[in-house]
């Protein structure tokens, strides 16, 4: 059954029960009250009858008593009226015609029944001067009460039907105020389920429980919309994360492949770099051993000089590998001392002058002004400068110029001393400005496969970072070539031994 029908039946049932209970209660009370009134009336009638017939009873005038009793013919409800003398003997009587069928006066007062079903009985003494001279007995039927009850029931039934009709109309109206909003919510829920449209909202027409239900339904829809938005955002975020992780994996894959290729290139370059000086050492030493007796001393001196150069070159290669290994292990110690960067740059430039002369490349010095004093490890910073100058000489065409520039900048609120090495070579691709500082990496424009280990710039970056500085590369804006610059904080504690504990990022990437 629908809620509508349930509500209708419930309200009709309750109303019917209330009406019937009211009618039954009122009818019962009225019947009780009428019976009580009828009995009181009969008692009064009996008393009056006894009083009026006292004289006839005293003078034993039966005829007069019977005439007095004939008055009851005017009262249809009196079935019998009997008078007995003081001894209980029958004296006079009145009997209605309808009573002839079996309702008659008892022969003696002792035979009188005080309780007869469906009848009213009144039995009273007749006194005169305080002495009992007889008794009066009245018997009445319930026709008036029955007619009264029928009339009450008719009126009550009519009123009950009218009340039930009015209640029916009121129930039909009221159940709409309850079932109507519920049916609307049900229809909306069905529409939302079918169309997946959570933007709908229920109308709270009334401020009763249906209104509370509508508002709760709207709150639930709002929560569903919020959850839907959160889920959409989470899906978008998840997609973005998946995309980002995919890009990271692809980038890591490319880096791993590039690292593998860089290591392979490093091994090829190292084999070439080691083979060349070793071949010179072995060849000239073998030739000197075989021909030392017949070869002039000047020629032997040239052999030893070539052997020495090959050994020095081999030693430099070994030192680069060892330096990189120490820096990557994080156990390298730097001794900090005060110095002037201009003087340190000049001394470092003197170490590469033979290379400048061999390549026919000029070197210019430039100082942008300001104090160039700082605290650093002289040898390590000199190594950085010579490495940068060596790279610039290697990739600068003959007849061109390299500029070594020193200066100061204000970085992150602290004064820093800078050194720049500017060449006129082929430059650096934009995508390789960071990767050239990684281990075993060389620029694609300068990587010929025939020289260089790819360790020099990685060592430079590790040394600069150990000093709390930064190194970067950029192409020249006003001409060919590239500029590699590093900066170091000018203020550090002099005499302190700085232990390099930071492993280079490139090592981690290559290890991955």
Predicted confidence at residue 129, as pLDDT, reads 83
CATH of residue 255's domain is: 1.10.287.130
Boundary of a domain, candidates 329, 356, 376: 329
> Of all helices (H) and strands (E), which one includes residue 121?
strand 120-128
The pLDDT, as a whole number, for residue 439 is: 67
Specify whether the CB–CB gap between 56 and 193 falls below 8 A.
Answer: no
As a whole number of angstroms, the distance between CA 213 and CA 209 comes to 6
Query: Given this model, what pLDDT does residue 364 score?
Result: 93
What pLDDT was estimated at residue 482?
92
Residues 341 and 478 occupy one common structural domain: yes
The answer on 352 and 285 residing in a single domain is no
Q: What is the pLDDT of residue 331?
A: 57
d(CA 181, CA 203): 8
The secondary structure of residue 473, as a DSSP letter, is: E
Cβ atoms of 233 and 216 within 8 Å: the answer is no
Contacts of residue 3, Cβ cutoff 8 Å, sequence gap at least 6: 178, 179, 182
CATH of the domain at 491: 3.30.565.10
Q: Are residues 340 and 351 in the same domain?
A: yes
Q: Distance of alpha carbon 175 from its chain centroid, rounded?
A: 39
pLDDT of res. 470: 92
Structure tokens that stand for 267 in this block: 């091994």
pLDDT for residue 449: 44
Contact 452, 394 (CB under 8 A): yes
Distance of CA 139 to the CA centre of its chain: 90
**366 and 461 together in one domain:** yes
Nearest in space to 394 (alpha carbons), one of 273, 509, 307, 511: 273
User: In this structure, are 471 and 345 located in the same domain?
Assistant: yes
- Phi first, then psi: what are they for 424, rounded to 5°? -120, 40
DSSP-based three-state secondary structure for 169: helix
The end-to-end CA distance of the chain, in Å, is 71
The pLDDT score that the predictor gives to residue 313 is 67
Alpha-carbon span 363 to 49, nearest angstrom: 162
140-172 b/e with 16+ CB inside 10 Å = b?
bbbeebeebeeebeeebeeebeebbeebeeebe
Say whether both 358 and 280 belong to one domain. no
Report if residue 469 sits inside a domain: yes
| 448 belongs to a structural domain | yes
User: Last residue of a domain, which of 329, 346, 371?
Assistant: 329
Is 80 within a domain?
no
Which domain covers residue 281, as residue numbers?
A: 234-329
> Interior CA angle at 70 toward 65 and 73, to 5°?
155
How confident is the prediction along the chain (512 residues), in pLDDT tens digits per residue?
Answer: 666 677 777 877 888 888 888 888 888 888 888 889 988 998 999 899 888 888 888 888 889 988 988 888 888 888 889 999 988 899 998 887 654 444 578 888 888 888 888 888 999 999 888 888 899 999 888 888 888 888 888 888 888 888 888 888 887 777 777 767 777 777 777 777 777 777 777 676 666 676 777 778 778 878 888 888 888 888 888 888 898 888 888 888 887 887 777 677 666 666 666 666 777 778 777 867 777 667 777 777 877 877 887 787 677 667 766 666 666 655 567 788 898 999 999 999 998 888 899 899 999 999 877 778 889 988 889 989 999 998 899 889 999 999 999 998 887 778 899 999 999 988 888 888 888 887 666 666 555 443 455 678 888 898 898 888 999 999 988 888 899 999 999 887 665 555 544 433 333 343 33
pLDDT in tens, 9-36: 787 788 888 888 888 888 888 888 888 9
Claim to verify: residue 500 and residue 378 sit in the same structural domain: yes
The alpha-helical segments, DSSP class H, found in 366-473 are: 378-395, 456-466
Q: Which residues make Cβ contacts (< 8 Å) with residue 98, sequence separation at least 6?
A: 79
Cα(93)–Cα(78) distance, integer angstroms: 12
- Read off φ and ψ for residue 405, nearest 5 degrees: -120, 135
Whether residues 285 and 392 fall in one domain: no
pLDDT reported for residue 265:
65
Cα four-point dihedral sign 381, 384, 387, 389: negative
Q: Which of 439, 436, 490 is nearest to 467 (CA)?
A: 490
Is the domain of 291 the same as that of 395?
Answer: no
CA distances from 339 to 55, 116, 371, 379 (A): 164, 144, 11, 11
Do 459 and 358 share a structural domain?
A: yes
Among 329, 344, 362, give the residue marking a domain's end: 329
Which own/partner contact pairs does 347-351 have at CB distance under 8 Å and 24+ positions apart?
347/382, 348/382, 348/385, 348/386, 348/389, 349/385, 349/389, 349/404, 351/382, 351/386
The token pair that represents 383 in the structure block: 């190594």
490 and 426 assigned to the same domain: yes
Task: Tell me what pLDDT residue 442 has.
Answer: 64
Q: What is the rounded distance in angstroms from the CA atom of residue 26 to the CA atom of residue 18?
A: 12
When divided into structural domains, the chain yields a total of: 2
Residue 227 in domain: no
Specify whether 474 is located in the same domain as 396: yes
Position 63 in a domain: no
Q: What is the CA radius of gyration of the chain?
A: 66
Residue 24 domain-assigned? no
- Residue 499 domain-assigned? yes
Does 497 map to a domain? yes
């Amino acid at each position: 059954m629908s809620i509508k029908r349930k509500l209708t039946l419930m309200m009709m049932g309750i109303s019917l029960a209330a009406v019937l209970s009211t009618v039954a209660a009122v009818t019962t009370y009225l019947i009780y009250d009428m019976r009580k009134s009828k009995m009181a009336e009969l008692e009064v009638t009996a008393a009056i009858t006894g009083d009026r017939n006292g004289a006839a009873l005293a003078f034993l005038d039966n005829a007069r008593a019977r005439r007095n009793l004939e008055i009851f013919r005017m009262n249809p409800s009196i079935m019998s009226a009997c008078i007995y003398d003081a001894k209980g003997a029958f004296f006079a009587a009145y009997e209605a015609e309808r009573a002839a069928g079996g309702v008659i006066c008892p022969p003696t007062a002792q035979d009188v029944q005080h309780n007869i079903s469906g009848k009213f009985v009144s039995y009273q003494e007749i006194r005169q001067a305080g002495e009992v001279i007889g008794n009066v007995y009245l018997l009445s039927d319930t026709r008036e009460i029955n007619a009264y009850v029928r009339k009450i029931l008719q009126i009550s039934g009519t009123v009950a039907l009218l009340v039930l009709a009015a209640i029916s109309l009121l129930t039909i109206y009221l159940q709409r105020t309850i079932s109507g909003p519920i049916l609307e919510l049900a229809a909306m829920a069905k529409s939302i389920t079918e169309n997946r449209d959570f933007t709908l909202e229920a109308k709270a027409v009334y401020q009763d429980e249906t209104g509370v239900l509508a508002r709760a339904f709207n709150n639930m829809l709002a929560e569903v919309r919020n959850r839907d938005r959160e889920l959409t955002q989470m899906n978008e975020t998840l997609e973005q994360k998946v995309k980002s992780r995919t890009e990271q994996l692809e980038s890591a894959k490319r880096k791993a492949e590039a690292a593998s290729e860089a290591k392979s290139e490093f091994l090829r370059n190292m084999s070439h770099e080691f083979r060349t000086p070793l071949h010179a050492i072995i060849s000239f030493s073998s030739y000197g051993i075989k021909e030392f007796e017949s070869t002039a001393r000047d020629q032997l001196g040239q052999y030893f000089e070539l052997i020495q150069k090959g050994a020095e070159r081999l030693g430099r290669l070994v030192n680069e590998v060892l330096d990189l290994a120490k820096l990557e292990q994080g156990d390298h110690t730097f001794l900090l001392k005060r110095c002037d960067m201009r003087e340190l740059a000049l001394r470092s430039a003197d170490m590469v002058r033979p290379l400048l002369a061999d390549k026919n490349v000029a070197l210019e010095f430039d100082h942008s002004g300001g104090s160039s004093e700082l605290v650093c490890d002289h040898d390590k910073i000199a190594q950085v400068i010579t490495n940068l100058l060596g790279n610039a000489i290697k990739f600068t065409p003959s007849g061109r110029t390299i500029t070594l520039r020193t200066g100061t900048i204000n970085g992150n609120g602290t004064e820093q001393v800078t050194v720049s090495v500017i060449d006129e070579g082929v430059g650096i691709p934009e995508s390789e400005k960071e990767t050239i500082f990684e281990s075993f990496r060389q620029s694609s424009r300068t990587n010929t496969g025939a020289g260089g280990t790819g360790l020099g710039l990685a060592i430079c970056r590790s040394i600069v970072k150990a000093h709390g500085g930064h190194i970067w590369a950029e192409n020249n804006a006003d001409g060919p070539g590239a500029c590699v610059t590093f900066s170091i904080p000018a203020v550090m504690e002099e005499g302190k031994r700085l232990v390099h504990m930071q492993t280079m990022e490139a090592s981690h990437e290559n290890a991955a």
